[in-house]
């Protein structure tokens, strides 16, 4: 799966170098066998961002670092390209990080804590990330007694919600600065490291992904991806 993600990153036209960062010797060996560049990082990192930063610090000629998480085998190369382009267009005084979102299309996804939700302002900047449904449609809940009931009676409410997908594009100096800050209380509570960036005033621009992706956080997710591929509804080929 990690190799699939690396190949999709390689297919992005504005990505010049792809490196897998891992603390697993087993993953390191498999990735290297496939001819993909890989770095064995320290085992003590608290987050994936810290792991990426260790590698980024060694890249003297890089100004932008793209973090595509290894559990996103269906990530589109076009989504990666659009996120990189968005950071470039923001300029040095704009966003320090760009990430992506997708519409939430089912109640089960909305209430799934493994799917992170994102709330944005009118200019497309992230305001908060949460494992809970956000934003909270207060008036609709008052009308129907609960969020679940409100969604049953007013299904269009689902369009209020967006899920966060596993890609970050950083300005290198922002990434290295971020990993020097201590974890915040909100970050520990939600187990979401991007909250550390927001709490320190880093602007995170969020753009819509070019096509749906499915993160693999559980065995059920893995089976879902396998079924999608086997059915022909999606392809792991970057040529498609």
3-state SS, one letter per residue, for 68-120? ECCCCCCCCHHHHHHHHHHHHHHCCCCCCEEEEEEECCCHHHHCCCCCCEEEE
39: tokens are 């770095």
Predicted pLDDT of residue 93: 79
Look at residue 59 and tell me if it is in a domain: no
CA angle, 112 then 189 then 137, to 5°: 50
Strand (E) or helix (H) holding 207: strand 204-208
Q: How many domains does the chain have?
A: 1
Residue range(s) defining the domain that contains residue 110: 70-231
Q: Where residue 164 sits, what CATH number does that domain have?
A: 3.90.550.10
Q: Where are the beta strands (DSSP E) in the chain?
A: 20-22, 38-40, 64-68, 97-103, 117-120, 126-130, 162-171, 204-208
Look at residue 186 and tell me if it is in a domain: yes
Strand (E) or helix (H) holding 185: helix 185-190
Say what the pTM is: 0.87
Look at residue 165 and tell me if it is in a domain: yes
pLDDT (tens digit, 0 to 9) for every residue of the chain, 240 residues total? Answer: 889 899 999 999 999 999 999 999 999 999 999 999 999 999 888 788 889 999 999 999 899 999 998 888 888 899 999 999 999 998 777 899 999 999 999 999 999 998 999 999 999 999 999 999 999 999 999 999 999 999 999 999 999 999 998 799 999 999 999 999 998 999 999 999 999 999 999 999 999 998 777 677 788 878 887 887 777 665 555 544
Look at residue 64 and tell me if it is in a domain: no
Look at residue 33 and tell me if it is in a domain: no
Place of tokens 């804590």: 113
Selection from 93, 103, 48, 95 nearest residue 70 by Cα = 48
Predicted pLDDT of residue 240: 42
The two counts, helices (H) then strands (E), for the chain are 11, 8
Look at residue 171 and tell me if it is in a domain: yes
Look at residue 8 and tell me if it is in a domain: no
Cα–Cα distance for residue pair 204/171, rounded to 1 Å: 11
Q: Is 42 exposed, middle or buried (0-12, 13-18, 19+ CB in 10 A)?
A: exposed
Asked if 128 contacts 58 with a C-beta cutoff of 8 angstroms, the reply is no
Helix (H, G, I), strand (E, B) or coil at 234: coil
Look at residue 20 and tell me if it is in a domain: no
Asked if 133 contacts 161 with a C-beta cutoff of 8 angstroms, the reply is yes
Cα–Cα distance for residue pair 216/201, rounded to 1 Å: 30
Predicted pLDDT of residue 7: 92
Place of tokens 């890249």: 59
């Amino acid at each position: 799966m990690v190799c699939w993600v690396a190949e999709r990153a390689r297919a992005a036209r504005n990505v010049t170098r792809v490196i897998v960062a891992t603390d697993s010797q087993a993953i390191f060996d498999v990735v290297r066998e496939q001819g993909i560049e890989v770095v064995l990082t320290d085992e003590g990192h608290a987050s994936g961002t810290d792991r990426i930063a260790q590698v980024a610090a060694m890249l003297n000629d890089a100004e932008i670092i793209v973090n595509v998480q290894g559990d996103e085998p269906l990530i589109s190369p076009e989504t990666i390209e659009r996120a990189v382009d968005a950071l470039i267009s923001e300029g040095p005084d704009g966003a320090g990080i760009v990430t992506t979102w997708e519409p939430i299309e089912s109640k089960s996804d909305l209430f799934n804590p493994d799917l992170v939700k994102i709330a944005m302002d009118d200019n497309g900047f992230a305001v908060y990330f949460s494992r809970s449904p956000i934003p909270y449609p207060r008036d609709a809940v008052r009308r129907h007694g609960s969020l679940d009931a409100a969604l049953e009676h007013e299904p269009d409410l689902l369009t209020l919600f967006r899920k966060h997908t596993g890609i970050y594009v950083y300005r290198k100096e922002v990434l290295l600065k971020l990993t020097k800050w201590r974890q915040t209380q909100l970050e520990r509570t939600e187990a979401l490291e991007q909250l550390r960036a927001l709490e320190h005033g880093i602007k995170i621009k969020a753009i819509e992904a070019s096509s749906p992706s499915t993160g693999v956080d559980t065995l059920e997710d893995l089976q879902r991806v396998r079924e999608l591929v086997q059915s022909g509804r999606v392809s792991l080929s970057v040529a498609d």
